[in-house]
Amino acid sequence: MARVVVDVMLKPEILDPQGKAVAGALPRLGFTNVVGVRQGKRFEIEVDEVTDAVLAEVEKMAETLLANTVIEDFVVRVEDPSGATA
Amino acid sequence: MARVVVDVMLKPEILDPQGKAVAGALPRLGFTNVVGVRQGKRFEIEVDEVTDAVLAEVEKMAETLLANTVIEDFVVRVEDPSGATA
């Protein structure tokens, strides 16, 4: 079994109200070192094995279902189940 | 400027309805190589520089604000802005 991760984030030019809300709450909780926060989605996709064909399929999945490519960017990467990027 | 990423995922034993919904939709879209899908949150936290104190602060932030540690696990890692794990 292998894990392919798709990270979906709003494009930089798009306002991120959730990220702004988190960034706004941090000083009240005593966290002062933060310049900015952006929030997005993380998909962990379990596949039997990672091949070029499977990666191309995950790329297509991200384009058509996981991300709204008008306002979001996505990154596809292989991660071994321990969490380190392979 | 540096970027610290906090990945928040539901604990493995917790039912993930969003992940199930995505996994259920994939075959209808012609994607057949997928064993399972889990969906979580990704926070990109911009800081001036990464020090042990800043990482400890982000760890605390994740525990108190970004993740519900009763049902969610989180991973904190430094990522250079190009997206590669530093």
Q: Using one digit for the tens of pLDDT, what is the confidence trace for B21-59?
A: 999 999 988 888 899 999 999 999 999 999 999 999 999
A2 φ, ψ (degrees, to nearest 5): -135, 165
| Rg of chain B (C-alpha set) | 16
The answer to whether B73 and A38 are in contact (CB under 8 A) is no
Q: How far is B36 from chain A (nearest CA, A)?
A: 5
A2-79: what fold?
Answer: Mth169; Chain: A , (3.30.1280)
* A positions 25-84 inside 8 Å of B (CB): 25-26, 29, 31, 33-48, 53-54, 57, 60-61, 64-66, 75, 83-84
Query: pTM score > 0.80 for this model?
Result: yes
Q: Which two tokens stand for residue A49?
A: 């094995």
Mean pLDDT across chain B, nearest whole number? Answer: 91
ipTM of this complex:
0.89
